[in-house]
A and B are shown apart, each in its own frame.
Chain A
Amino acid sequence: MKVVIMGCGRVGAQLAGLLDTDGHSVTILDTDAYSFRRLPSTFSGTALVGNGLNEEVLKKAGIEEADAFVALTQGDNRNVMASQIAKHIFNVPRVVCRIYDPLRQELYSTLGVEAFSPTTIFAQMLREKLES
């Protein structure tokens, strides 16, 4: 499948590498070209400098043909906005985003964005580790 990832931080870069190894066509976006240093040297996808909130940039990244969009920047609101653009303007079939704030994550899940809160997931995981 064709995947567009917004944000080339640690998670973004690693996800891009994994999907690329699995044979998917990956385009990763970041506003800072320096972030692309995190991509594995074997990465065969496309790395594109640009803001994922900009429709033109998203089009250039091939969002119109994408099967999935993943928003992984540091800003919850940026992720939420980009995801909604992908979902409601470009009708990308699968849109996943990271929202650190658990309350906002809950709200946007009810609004139809597939949102994950690393805060909640990690806290639960730690609890399980400690209690086991």
Chain B
Amino acid sequence: MYIIIVGGGRLGYYLTKALLSEGHEVLIVEKNPTICQNINDELGSVCIRGDGCEAATLAEIGTARADMLIAVTGDDEDNLVACQVAKHKFNVPRTTARVRNPQNETIFKKLGIDVTVSSTNLILESIKEEVPTHPLTHLLTIRDQGLEIVEVKIPPDATTIGKPVKELSLPPGSRLALIIPKERKPRVPTSDTILRDGDRVIAVTTPESEEALRAVLRGT
């Protein structure tokens, strides 16, 4: 695939490295000449100096034949415009924007950006996960289906400890996919699997049922 990346910061740099190693054709557009030079010295000629929001620059690098454009600059408005120019002027089939302000995620969706990645939210989730009392962690969102994969930790005071899975009345659309006990191997739960203190339960659920699922698993 031909992938254009707007923004040669740390994210752009490592993303390019990863995509190149997967065999894709990648080109970075970066405003800062020093950053551009450094990337080219290190990764070969993969970075062009220019403004990725400018239609003229995007025309020059053959955006019309790009399969994807990923905008990962530090400014939300620049990412939005780069994606919109790519989409509406060059008909790029897939545009992805990094969003720093979580508030902008819904706005970007409404304005037609295919995929948004909120770096702030991702970092928040990862940090919250490390807080021992944090009840539920989002692992993955399957957007088109309205599903998400979450992890719920069973705390020592959960009233569900010692109960088999079949006694839990799971909310609609929720399924337990995997149980990872504290010191044993992960297993796929059956109706007779007993919940224990410290178990990490991986479940498929919907955003609406998330809260109910957490309550059912912890018995609170």
Task: List A residues at the B interface (Cβ < 8 Å).
Answer: 53-55, 75-78, 80-81, 84-85, 88-89, 101, 103-104, 107, 110-111
Contact = CB atoms under 8 A, between A and B. Distances in A.
Main secondary structure of the interface of A (DSSP, over half): helix
B110 A77 contact: no
Nearest to A111: B88
Contacts of A89: 107, 110
Contacts of A80: 77, 80-81, 84
Interface of B: 53-56, 75-78, 80-81, 84-85, 88-89, 101, 103-104, 107, 110-111
Given A77-B81, A81-B77, 6 more contacts: A80-B77, A80-B84, A103-B54, A104-B85, A107-B88, A107-B89
B77 A107 contact: no
A81 B80 CA distance: 7
B84 A78 contact: no
13 contacts: A53-B76, A77-B78, A77-B81, A80-B80, A80-B84, A81-B81, A88-B110, A103-B54, A103-B56, A107-B85, A107-B88, A107-B89, A111-B88
Task: Across the A-B interface, give the 10 residue pairs with the lowest CB-CB distance, nearest first.
Answer: A77-B77, A103-B55, A81-B77, A77-B81, A78-B77, A77-B78, A81-B80, A84-B111, A107-B89, A80-B81
